[in-house]
A = this chain, B = another copy of it.
Amino acid sequence: MEQEVPWVHPPEPVTVPMMPLQRLLRLLPLFAGLAACTTPAPPDPLPSWNEGQAKTAILTFVARVTTPGSPDFVPEAERIATFDNDGTLWQERPTVEVVFLLTRLKAMAEADPALARDPAVKAALAKDLAYFHEAGPHAILELFGVVYGGVSQDSFIADARAFLAEAKDPATGRKLTELTYQPMRELLDYLRSKGFLTWICSGGMREMMRLVSDSLYGVPPEQVIGTALQLTWKEQDGKWILWREPKILTFNDQAAKPVNLSLALGRPPLMAVGNEGGHGDIAMLTYSGSRGGPSFQMIVDHDDAAREHLYQEPDSGSLKAAAANGWTVISMKNDWRTVYRP
């Protein structure tokens, strides 16, 4: 299975063949800066990754599917890689959506006493997890509807933009948009340099991720799939606008990911990358693996208490699925030289 990765061994030194002086002189300009030198080894495309099984697995897979003539060669049109965002491309503790939800809910409850008396709103603002454990996930989704819906699409986007410009991690005081993982940014850039389209498929609100996907990850808005509210097209004050209904259309997590990927792409991605922590990406990675022909899946293990966070699923569901399906596990602690983008 293992195939040689071109840049693991630096290429042979280039030596200028012996030639009559006159011919050599004529060729000289062609060798500007190169004659009598050795070609430098290509730069490491993943400098923030330690040498190890994860980095080797990435380089080996990319070489397998992009080397012309390789039995597993995949044409560019089929090179689609999908990435979860929260916990895979950036820190998910706390998740941006939850900070946004609580910030906006507090302001809304202060302005509207009736809303403040709603048991779910009270529980959220008191961080009463027992309430939501009892009430079930629909209670949280309804809060998302209250906070994210009931406004025009344009006004929500303006609000989300203002929030993202300021939002900070309460623990460190760092801006939430600064907590992206440097090794993943290198991986995205590397894949694109090899003809891949890079997509994001994550539980975050679609419009919020799209505000930062290009600047943080080089991913254009139309390659972002996320949680979405129901939208309606309606006339308001003589203008046609998109209106956000206070109702979730799709919560893009777990089993919704293959569904929404199929709706967007029409076929399983060649590569899928997620993280353990909430079983959020098992279905997406399984869907990628159902592709006929080669495919590649990776799971980030949040095992780095010192540099990021340590959290593991009680049942180790994602890591067990990785072992059962041959997915590559990325140990944040061991595989990443750097965690955050400088």
Q: Is A207 an interface residue (CB 8 A)?
A: yes
Q: How far is the CB of A217 from chain B (nearest CB, A)?
A: 14
User: Is B240 in contact with A286, judged by CB distance below 8 angstroms?
Assistant: yes
Q: 8 Å CB contacts to B: which residues of A47-83? A: 77, 80
Q: Does A125 lie at the interface of the complex (its beta carbon under 8 Å from any beta carbon of B)?
A: no
Residue of B nearest to A241 (CB): B290
Q: Provided the pairs A214-B77, A233-B255, A265-B222 are in contact, do residues A287 and B207 lie with their beta carbons within 8 angstroms?
A: no
Complex: A206 Cα to B262 Cα, angstroms: 10
The answer to whether A231 touches B206 (Cβ under 8 A) is: no
CB contacts (< 8 Å) of A210 on chain B: these are 266
Tell me if A318 counts as interface (CB < 8 A to partner B).
Answer: no
B242 pairs with A259, CB closer than 8 A = yes
Q: Is A265 in contact with B228, judged by CB distance below 8 angstroms? A: no
Tally of A interface residues using CB under 8 Å: 35
Return the chain B residue nearest A264 by Cβ: B222
Residue A109 CB within 8 A of the other chain: no
- Complex CA–CA separation, A267 to B206 (angstroms): 12
A233 near B206: Cβ-Cβ < 8 Å:
no
A80 touches B222 (CB 8 A): yes
Interface residues of A in 252-268 (CB under 8 A from B): 255-256, 258-259, 262-267
Chain B residues within an 8 Å CB radius of A206: 263, 266
A206–B258 CA distance with the chains assembled, in angstroms: 16
Question: Which of B240, B264, B266, B287 is A283 in contact with, Cβ under 8 Å?
Answer: B240
B80, A287: Cβ atoms closer than 8 Å = no
Which residue of B is nearest A199, CB measured? B222
Whole-angstrom distance from the CB of A160 to the nearest CB of chain B?
11
Q: Say whether A278 faces chain B, with CB atoms less than 8 Å apart.
A: no
Chain A window 236-257, contacts with chain B (Cβ cutoff 8 Å), 1 for yes, 0 for no: 0001111000000100000110
> Which of B80, B207, B233, B267 contacts A259 (CB under 8 A)?
B233
Tell whether A232 is near chain B: CB-to-CB under 8 Å: yes
CA distance A239 to B292 in the complex (A): 14
Say yes or no: A233 contacts B258, CB within 8 Å. yes
Known: A77-B220, A221-B266, A264-B264. A259 touches B241 (CB 8 A): no
User: Which residue of chain B lies nearest to A229 when distances are taken between CB atoms in the complex?
Assistant: B263
Kindly list chain B residues whose C-beta atoms are within 8 Å of the C-beta of A287: 233, 240, 242
Q: Does A197 contact B (CB under 8 A)?
A: yes
Residues of B within 8 A of A241 (CB): 290
Residues of B within 8 A of A290 (CB): 239-241
Instruction: Tell yes or no: A202 within 8 A of B by CB.
Output: no
Asked whether any CB of chain B lies closer than 8 Å to the CB of A121, the reply is no
* Pairwise interchain contact A255-B283, C-beta atoms closer than 8 A: no
5 A-B pairs with C-beta separation under 8 A: A77-B214, A206-B263, A222-B265, A231-B263, A233-B259
The 6 closest A-B pairs by CB, nearest first: A221-B266, A233-B255, A210-B266, A231-B259, A222-B265, A233-B258
